[in-house]
């Protein structure tokens, strides 16, 4: 479970924010994220691992490539993060996608085809 300092650290990191943003709209693998953001794949994997540990991103599927490698796809679990500073204290409230939103995204994915 993420604490407020962990969330602030993620929000302070430009590429972690961009990864969360891009994974809110798309289900992508690490290479696709790296290409979209113009960052090394190793950096992408490190940031994804951190976001997974904080339960902000999850692995949605693993596809075995023709080369025999596993290709993992990721999706954001976060629909919003509210940060509040009050009386000298910082608090973060994480809003996650509800089941309704997940079903809606699934339906949209099928209707695109």
Q: In angstroms, what CA-CA distances link 11 with 6, 18, 82, 87, 96?
A: 9, 9, 11, 21, 16
How many structural domains does the chain have? 1
pTM across the whole model: 0.79
The pLDDT value recorded for residue 2 is 75
The pLDDT value recorded for residue 104 is 66
Its domain, for residue 40, covers 4-111
Residue numbers in the chain where pLDDT is lower than 50: none
Rounded-to-integer distance, Cα 83 and Cα 66, Å: 44
The pLDDT value recorded for residue 3 is 87
Beta bridge mates, 85: 90
Q: Phi and psi (nearest 5°) for 65?
A: -80, 170
- Strands 89-96 vs 78-86: parallel, antiparallel or unpaired: antiparallel
Rounded-to-integer distance, Cα 71 and Cα 59, Å: 10
If 0-12 CB within 10 Å is exposed, 13-18 middle and 19+ buried, where does residue 9 land? middle
Q: What is the CATH number of the domain that holds 16?
A: 1.10.10.10
């Amino acid at each position: 479970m993420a604490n407020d300092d962990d969330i602030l650290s993620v929000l302070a990191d430009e590429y972690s924010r961009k990864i969360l943003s891009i994974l809110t709209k798309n289900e992508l693998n690490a290479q696709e994220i790296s290409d979209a953001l113009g960052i090394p794949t190793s950096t992408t994997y490190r940031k994804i691992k951190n976001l997974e540990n904080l339960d902000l991103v999850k692995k949605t599927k693993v596809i075995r490539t023709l080369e025999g490698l596993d290709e993992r796809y990721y999706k954001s679990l976060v629909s919003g993060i509210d940060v509040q500073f009050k009386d000298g204290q910082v608090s973060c409230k994480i809003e996650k996608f509800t089941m309704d939103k997940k079903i809606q995204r699934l339906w949209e994915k099928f209707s695109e085809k």
